[in-house]
Structure 1
Amino acid sequence: MRRSRKDGDSVDEERDSRRRRIVDSPSSPAEEPLVPYNDDEDDERRVLDHSGGAEEVGRRVETEEEDDDDDDDDDPYGRGSILDKSNRQVEVRRDCPYLDTVNRQVLDFDFEKFCSVSLSNLNVYACLVCGKYYQGRGKKSHAYTHSLEAGHHVYINLRTEKVYCLPDGYEINDPSLDDIRYVLNPRFSREQVEQLDKNKQWSRALDGSDYLPGMVGLNNIQKTDFVNVTIQSLMRVTPLRNFFLIPENYQHCRSQLVHRFGELTRKIWHARNFKGQVSPHEFLQAVMKASKKWFRIGVQSEPVEFMSWLLNTLHTDLRISKKSSSIIDKCFQGELEVVKETQNKAISERKEGGGEHNGALKIMDGATENNNIGTETYRMPFLMLGLDLPEPPLFKDVMEKNIIPQVPLFNILKKFDGETVTTTVRPPARMRYRVTRLPQYLIVHMRRFTKNNFFREKNPTLVNFPVKNLELKDYIPLPAPTKENEKLRSKYDLIANIVHDGKPDEGFYRVFVQRKSEELWYEMQDLHVSETLPQMVALSEAYMQIYEQQQ
């Protein structure tokens, strides 16, 4: 009995000692705390590489992501040795037996780079056989699974532009795939950019159709014609286009809108596209996010509102500091002198109390007060000028049709001669405007739409304007040049004319643009691009125009 008790006590002591060891020992792999995922670092790497960062950074990030994919299979706890990662290399081959399965007809890189299964935008590959997007290339990734299920073996990394064969996992280095890389990420040298306006050569798409670089149609996704005409108009502004064709000019900027606008510009002017049109889907997604869904797919908006918002947002995102300028300022910014006359309530109250007599003139802080009217003079910058159209007649003629009036452009430009008074209702004031500095590119907007309490009306007045040699100094007073040898540049040529057709809420927009290499005019409405005569440009209901200053 004593021996059995001693044996029982020794067993209990062993159990207690084992429990103490387990408690004192370090935690098991399953109990280790999870390492927090730092999303900011990955986003920063992706933006750096996307905006033209060093190739070494891109390679390092890619190998880390790929190693993560592979390590998920071999090491479920993610504790693989760093030595194995650094020594792991991807085999590179010049020949691949599956290159003949690549189908360029189905490749479309205009849409967002998201995996079609996981909807993730990290480490996304495009299948060059069916055109779908899949994430990763490790043994548990969606691209690897697709290669086994569908028998599609050639994939391209949408960020690093490297091509791989799955499930074998080797990299393909074949120059025959360079045309796909150029379509995925078009590139321009500074010499090519300078020669764009001299190029008269047509390009041919895969389906055999011919297209002009820079004159390609834009896909109307759903009521996005107001975006298409704005983009097509801005593509005629040479300094703006040249700036966005070279990504190094804005690689410091982190705005998605700026980079998406640059990508769209390069795709429109690219001469090696697989098809003769471009879809602005990625740019529209960036617009919806940046405008907080003020402009969105499926809802019609006005081009003047979108143009104003886009130019101001690009300017804000591009400038380095608050006082610095941007390419938007250099192209479009002019200056106005504004004289504002308002009824002064304080003076009228003092007059009623017998304080001051009529005709008293008082000057304070650059403003004058005379006969109950306060006058304030100040200068303000502008990106576009809004022109008021005369009211259309209310009654019909003998033929039971409304008379469509016509007005010369010079008549409505008198608003900015410094003498014509414009009355505002809220707040009640009398305004006089005078142009003190002309921009290199002048944007003019005709206010055709008015909204009252019941419905939206459209003014059908036709504006007669010259296509070439618009001389402003003959109609509005302009300031003398500041430098002695400098000439006053007041002659402008039309380069883009946006037109609205149809009813106010049911109509559509189209645009006439000029091709500088041959001085030909083209009419563009979404995907339709056709050559037209300069006389046809002046016969339309102009809504917004861009004029270029003659050098």
Structure 2
Amino acid sequence: MCLINVFLGFDIAYLVVELRRDCPYLDTVNRQVLDFDFEKFCSVSLSNLNVYACLVCGKYYQGRGQKSHAYTHSLEAGHHVYINLRTEKVYCLPDGYEINDPSLDGIRHVLNPRFNREQVEELDRNKQWSRALDGSDYLPGMVGLNNIKETDFVNVTIQSLMRVTPLRNFFLIPENYRHSKSPLVHRFGELTRKIWHARNFKGQVSPHEFLQAVMKASKKRFRIGVQSDPVEFMSWLLNTLHADLRSSKRSSSIIHQCFQGELEVVKEIHSRSFAEKRENGDEQNNSSAADGGTEQNNVVAETSRMPFLMLGLDLPPPPLFKDVMEKNIIPQICFLILILVLLVSLANFNIYLFAVSSFCPIMIL
């Protein structure tokens, strides 16, 4: 027997719920139709309160009382096994007793994947392929993400962030961010656990719940059905996660620990203008007073450090030549660099190299 408190106004009613292991309807559970990647809303009332999933057809219904949608569905469709999407308890309707059977633990793990610290540490050491119910093989952490509707910019961002080991390890354990009240943080953590879960029913994951949290947090700046720039989305996501994770304005977060860097900027100015700036008190952060600015030939080197989360770099120009099959790109190497390698290998010459321009001029003395 199990006692459940039901709050009715200011009164408390105690309902006795029978706990059984021998349910005759367990063989009707169809794991192939179960999909917990979507928002937990009742398919009839569209409410997110007290939602149950039918383990026979996979649809969501609200409540389990005699006037609830789940109770009605059990009578009309003859589907009797339901799981509470919040408490993970399984009930038989319309009988109303709770089912306690170890065979249902796999469904609970798919609904809410769990990791402990020992399992997280073994992820990179023990990489094994897993097989879904449909027979497809997948590698945990490398599963595909469904492109709902022009949401590929989100998928590529998520896949790249899943390769950052400290970030992954942090979000695999919900206790690390349980203090946060941000739905975006918790949806990102759920998506991370589903991507790295080794007992999924499918070989792919749908980021639907995460996308709903993104639309709400960004005020529909990023939404389903509208293409956006992946770099812009990643910048917004990292800054938003950092703001939602830190406990105070001055505290750091796992986002800054993984991605924040510093760019050293050296600026040469005339000593007269530098003296005027010092007299006017217009020194910037970490200027020469802190970093030791030097003055030579009436020129002062002012050094400052700028923090950044994203730094754009120029890519080298693509090679122009391909092989005879026009598939493999033939790398281009500067001819003067080849001569340099040859001369260095001789080791019998004193070579003094002066790289003055992009043409790599070489002076041999």
> Which residue does 2:137 correspond to in 1?
210
What are the within-5 Å matches in structure 2 for residues 476-487 of structure 1?
A: none
Letter in 2 for 1:336: L
Which consecutive residues of structure 2, in runs of 5 or more, have no partner in the other structure? 294-298, 319-328, 334-365
Cα distance in 1 for partners of 2:300, 2:150 equals 46
User: Secondary structure in 2 aligned to 1:381?
Assistant: strand
Structure 2 residue matching 1:386: 3-state secondary structure? coil
Letter in 2 for 1:385: L
Letter in 2 for 1:380: M
Does 2:45 match 1:118?
yes
Taking the aligned partners of 1:407 and 1:311, their CA distance within structure 2 comes to 37
Do residues 384 (structure 1) and 316 (structure 2) align? no
Q: Closer, same or farther in 2 for the Cα pair 1:80/1:170, shift >3 Å?
A: farther
The answer to whether structure 1 residue 97 and structure 2 residue 16 are counterparts is no
Distance 2:153 2:92 in 1: 42
1:389 deviates by: 4.8
Task: State the secondary structure of the residue aligned to 1:130.
Answer: coil
Q: Which residue of 1 aligns with 2:33?
A: 106
Normalised TM-score (structure 2): 0.77
* TM-superposition CA deviations, 1:404-433 (whole Å, max 9, x none): 99899xxxxxxxxxxxxxxxxxxxxxxxxx
Which of 312, 325, 337 is matched with 2:264 structurally?
A: 337
Distance 2:131 2:332 in 1: 43
The equivalent position to 1:141 in structure 2, one of 49, 58, 68, is 68
Per the TM alignment, residue 360 of structure 1 is displaced from its structure 2 partner at its CA by 4.0
Q: Give the structure 2 partner of residue 239 of structure 1.
A: 166
- In structure 2, which of residues 81, 105, 108 is the aligned counterpart of residue 154 of structure 1? 81
Q: 2:153 aligns with which of 210, 216, 226?
A: 226
Question: How many Å separate the matches in 2 of 1:163 and 1:359?
Answer: 77
Contact 2:214 2:222 in 1 (8 A): yes
Q: Give me the whole-angstrom Cα distance separating, in 1, the residues matched to 2:187 and 2:263.
A: 32
AA of the residue aligned to 1:190: R
Alignment of 1:384-423 (within 5 A): 384-389=310-315
How many angstroms does 1:384 deviate by? 2.2
- Structure-to-structure mapping, 1:32-51, within 5 angstroms: none
Equivalent-residue separation in structure 1 for 2:47 and 2:194 (angstroms): 24
What is the number of equivalent residue pairs in this alignment?
307
> Do the aligned residues in 1 keep the contact of 2:274 with 2:300 (CA within 8 Å)?
no
Q: Which amino acid aligns with 1:104?
A: R
Specify whether residues 258 and 407 from structure 1 end up closer, same or farther in structure 2 by C-alpha distance, changes over 3 A only: farther
Q: 1:234 to 1:390 in 2, by over 3 A?
A: closer
Map 1:49-448 onto structure 2 (within 5 A). Answer: 63=4, 67=6, 82=12, 85=13, 87-339=14-266, 360-363=272-275, 364=278, 365=283, 366=287, 377-389=303-315
TM-aligned CA deviation for residue 182 of structure 1:
0.5
Aligned counterparts of 1:79 and 1:362: Cα–Cα separation in 2: 72
In structure 2, the CA distance between the partners of 1:379 and 1:94, relative to structure 1 (3 Å rule), is same
Query: What's the TM-score once normalised by structure 1's chain length?
Result: 0.52
Q: CA RMSD in A?
A: 3.0
Counterpart CA distance in 2 for 1:184 and 1:381 is 40
Partner of 2:360: none
CA distance in 2 between counterparts of 1:391 and 1:273 reads 43
Larger radius of gyration: 1
Distance 2:27 2:157 in 1: 41
Q: Who is 2:339 aligned against?
A: none
Give the deviation of 1:183 after TM superposition: 0.4
- The residue number in structure 1 matching 2:351 is none
Consecutive unaligned residues in structure 1, runs of 5 or more: 1-58, 69-77, 343-357, 393-403, 409-551
**SS at the partner of 1:134?**
strand
How far apart in 2 are the matches of 1:181 and 1:207? Answer: 19
Amino acid of the structure 1 residue aligned with 2:307 = P
Match of 2:353 in 1: none
Report how far residue 79 of structure 1 moved: 6.5
Q: 2: distance between equivalents of 1:108 and 1:321?
A: 37
Kindly provide the amino acid, as one letter, of the partner of residue 382 in structure 1.
F
Higher share in strand: 1
Q: Deviations over 1:225-266 (max 9, x none)?
A: 111111111111111101100101111111101100100010
The offset of 1:323, in angstroms, is: 1.4
1:7-26 superposed matches below 5 A:
none
SS in 2 for 1:300: coil
1:213 counterpart letter in structure 2? P
Return closer, same or farther for 1:330/1:81 CA change in 2, 3 Å cut-off. closer
Instruction: Look up the SS of the partner of 1:109 in the other structure.
Output: coil
- Aligned-residue offset at 1:375: 8.6
What whole-Å deviation, never above 9, does each CA across 1:347-397 have from its counterpart, x for those lacking one?
xxxxxxxxxxx98444213589xxxx99965322112221135799xxxxx
Q: Does structure 1 retain, via aligned residues, the 8 Å contact 2:115–2:173?
A: yes
Q: 2: CA distance between counterparts of 1:96 and 1:225?
A: 43
Residue identity (%): 82
